Amino acid sequence: MAAKKKELLEQEPAVIGTENSEAADSGAILLEEMADCTDAPAAAGEVEPELDELLSDMGPDLTGNAIPGSSDDELSCETADWEDSEVEVTGINDGASDPPPSASPKRAARKKSDTRSTKAVEQSDAMEGSVTSSFITEANGGETEALTAEMTEFTEDLAEGREPASASSPPASRRASRGRPAAEAPVLTIEARSEVETAEEREDVIWHEIHNAYRTRRILMGQLCGIEQTDSGKTIAIADYKGFRIVIPLKEMMIQVGRSPSGQAYADLMLRQNKILNNMLGAHIDFVVKGIDSKTRSVVASRQEAMLKKRQIFYLDSDSAGMYRIYEGRVVQARIIAVAEKVIRVEIFGVECSIMARDLAWDWVGDAHERFSVGDEVLVRVLGVRRDSLEEISVKADIKSVTQNNNSENLKKCRIQSKYAGKVTDVHKGVVYVRLSNGVNAVAHSCYDQRMPGKKDDVSFAVTRIDEERGVAVGIITRIIRQNL
């Protein structure tokens, strides 16, 4: 037994040496083949082989055949050890491929041959990658600009605080959202969390309001802005309600001028009604919608129905205390619907009445246009009410009783034989009525100037006496400072 063991020990180094020489020979052969593949394109007149030919010429080591001098079991074990080593794959540290000291010399030799094969595979992969990258670069040369544009948009989104398109939606949907029409996007307001209505939305809201008023017979208020003649010769009034045209027939305007005559008197009546309508232009009037056309958005209304409704509520119906809402002595608000030189016409909750110039103010008013305008709202005191029926209700009112009377205090500012500047308010039957600059009403029966004073002339007035009972100063006009021509 001892002799046999000794013989086996003597034979083992020889076997190991043989295997090492075989592995070295196989490695040398592999390196020569690689050199041939590398130097082949450099030869003059030769054609560069394809990638598949290069891989096939690199030997059976890359095609899955066994390495000479090793069994299948040993190769599988060595391949597993080679895959577990990260250093051998990268090829950075060749010393890491050496087996640990405890490994046998046979395994170390085989692993060295595997390392050489791995390096050859890496070189072939590098050659294949360079060839493939050149083809990819040529094929995708047109996509480089698109990729650059996407990266630019991505950077802009991050700088402006927006969410990148790649995180929320694909680029196609993002381009679609940027290109959508402005009508679909909400209005960008200056103030945060505020809302702005467009003209179309505002018109829809107003039309909806008119439609609801038509259904509920609610009273609306508009401005009288026109008088027209239809093709059939009828006169219609045009009112404006928040931009919408409201048509009111003349008979629905409730212009009371007495009973309707016939013949020439009827023509005179129509002329008078048209004149009244002309004076009412610009006035605020109430109306009730009688008909609408949703397609053309046309509206026909009646002022008469609105006024009759207000008469019933404010003149005939009583409040919770059992009293009329409008009664003698009450101060109410009225609308001025017409203005003339010596009179104004107001509408007091469905009833129209005229107020003369003497009842407009405590001081003398030469022209009502200087103080009042159509469309104004004034405070009036009701002096009397007559309630015969719904159609026959009349009111008497004035404006000056609402204000304070300062005539007695102003008279104290005047001195007899003193001269004051003033403006002529009226001339009637040779009597000149003057409004002095200190607020005193004055009367002049004579004038020292050769010219005759007229309305709105600036004059010099000399006081001869003071009439406290009438609250006026009496005197003469010494001269005309400036005539109103």
Q: State the pTM of this model.
A: 0.58
Residue 334: enclosing H or E segment and its boundaries? strand 331-339
Residue 430 one-letter amino acid: G
As a whole number of angstroms, the distance between CA 432 and CA 364 comes to 12
Strand, helix or coil at 85? coil
Give the 3-state secondary structure of residue 325: coil
What's phi and psi for 59, nearest 5 deg? Answer: 100, 170
Name the strand (E) or helix (H) holding 245: strand 244-249
Give me the DSSP letters along 133-197.
HHHHHHHTGGGHHHHHHHHHHHHHHHHHTPPPHHHHS-HHHHHHHHTS-GGGSPP--SSTT----
pLDDT (0 to 100) of residue 407: 82
pLDDT given at position 331? 95
At residue 404, the pLDDT reads 87
Average pLDDT per 10 consecutive residues for the chain, totaling 485 residues: 57 48 49 48 46 50 44 45 44 45 48 53 52 45 55 59 51 51 72 85 94 95 93 91 94 76 74 87 95 92 95 92 92 95 94 92 88 94 93 93 86 89 90 90 91 91 90 92 88
What pLDDT is stored for residue 65 in this prediction? 45
Of 217, 358, 335, residue with least CA distance to 282:
335
Pairing of strands 235-241, 219-229: antiparallel
In the chain the domains, ranked by start, together with CATH numbers, are: 199-310 (2.40.50.140), 321-402 (2.40.50.140), 406-482 (2.40.50.140)
| Pairing outcome for strands 377-387 and 244-249 | unpaired
**pLDDT recorded at residue 360:** 93
